[in-house]
Structure 1
Amino acid sequence: MEKIKVLFVCLGNICRSPTAEGVFTKLVKDHNLEAHFTIDSAGTHAYHVGNAPDLRSQAAALERGIDLSNLRGRKVINGDFEDFDFLLAMDDENYSILISACPEQYKTKIKYFLDYAPHLNERQVPDPYYGGAYGFERVLDMIEEASAGFLKALQESGSIKRRG
């Protein structure tokens, strides 16, 4: 079976994208769909390569039963455009960086993550790095909504079978 390969992308890969990786991984496990996915995250910049997610991201996620401690930051590489089926950007800046770096034949793989949660009426997951604890909770809420919407869209498209 061909796996669906998903890459979540933010700026430094220590707040939003590892949170999305953790949330979506848990959602996939909760639906017994692990065999259908390869899930990863990366940053458009190399600020935090090799670092664990921000401790505030880890704490907020752990409150919801999601352990991010084993994740490590990495930068998007050229091979990611070919290797992944979906590159899900957290905001305009990262979307633009991905589009600019991406070979033409792979540009359709790049999407805004929050497009899978249209009811939120927002397209950008805000960067909580310089904010307080509330920012991390808000980001988690948005990511949970978009993760559910993304999984539902994949199920409805026939890309994966619904949980029986």
Structure 2
Amino acid sequence: MTISVLVVCLGNICRSPMGEAVLRNEALKRGITDIHIDSAGTAAAHIGEDPDERRKGVPISHSARQVRASDFTSFDYILAADVSNLRALERHVGHKEGSKATVRLWGSYLSDNKAIQDPYYGGLDGFTKVYEQCVKLSNAFLDEVAGKES
């Protein structure tokens, strides 16, 4: 059975594409290949743009897109980078119309329940922190949905 995951931030150029790439990489390290991962933003400001070049060297081929109503019926999990985006997802019409997706703050998979801070207006250090957080969150998520790492 394939697990499908959508990682969501505001513009889909920093946190969510990095989260998508890191989650995919962590799943592959565990030998998990039956997983489909994508990312999107709650806002339309960056549609069609490439991920921010400061993304810590994480390889990804992605064009920014906005969350669609169909995402709520096609993904098993929708993971929000922060509470603001979680609330936007919960207000989205797709969330109300036949949603099968579990919509959660990605940080809720760890006991600290921290949001992923937006590094867009900062320096490279912010992207490094986001990368490190995405690695931890990816493993916590995979532990819960696919079983503990051996």
Q: Could you state the TM-score of these two structures normalised by the residue count of structure 2?
A: 0.91
Alignment map for 1:123-138 (pairs within 5 Å)? 123-138=114-129
> Match for residue 54 of structure 1?
52
- Structure with the larger helix share: 1
Partner residue in 2 for 1:149: 140
Flag as ranges the 4+ runs of structure 1 deviating above 3 A: none
Q: Which amino acid aligns with 1:18?
A: P
Picking from 139, 142, 159, the partner of 2:130 is 139
Of 31, 34, 44, the residue aligned with 2:42 is 44
- 8 A Cα contact 2:106 2:137, kept in partner: yes
Corresponding residue of 1:9: 8
Q: Is the 8 A contact 1:32 1:163 kept in 2?
A: no
Given that 1:52 and 1:71 are in contact with CA atoms closer than 8 Å, whether structure 2 keeps it comes out as yes
Unpaired segments ≥5 residues, structure 2 = none
- Alignment check: 8 A CA contact 2:76 2:101 kept: no
Classify the secondary structure of the residue corresponding to 2:17: helix
Q: Give the secondary-structure state (helix, strand or coil) at the position aligned to 2:70.
A: helix
Matched ranges for 1:1-164 at <5 A: 2-34=1-33, 36-57=34-55, 60=56, 62=57, 66-68=58-60, 70-101=61-92, 102-103=95-96, 105-106=98-99, 109-118=102-111, 121-156=112-147
Residue-by-residue CA offset, 1:4-31 (whole Å, 9 max, x unaligned)? 1100000000000000000011111122
Mapped to 2, the partners of 1:105 and 1:80 lie a distance apart of 11
- Aligned residue pairs total 148
Aligned residue type for 2:50: A
Cα 1:143/1:163, change in 2 over 3 Å: closer
> Aligned-pair distance for 1:108?
6.2
Residue identity in the other structure for 2:29: D
CA displacement, residues 32-68 of structure 1 (integer Å, 9 cap, x when unaligned): 211x1110000001111111100111xx1x2xxx312
Percent sequence identity over matched residues? 36
Shift in Å at residue 71 of structure 1?
Answer: 1.3
Instruction: Kindly state the Cα deviation for residue 132 of structure 1 after the two structures are TM-superposed.
Output: 1.3
- Note the aligned Cα RMSD (angstroms): 1.8
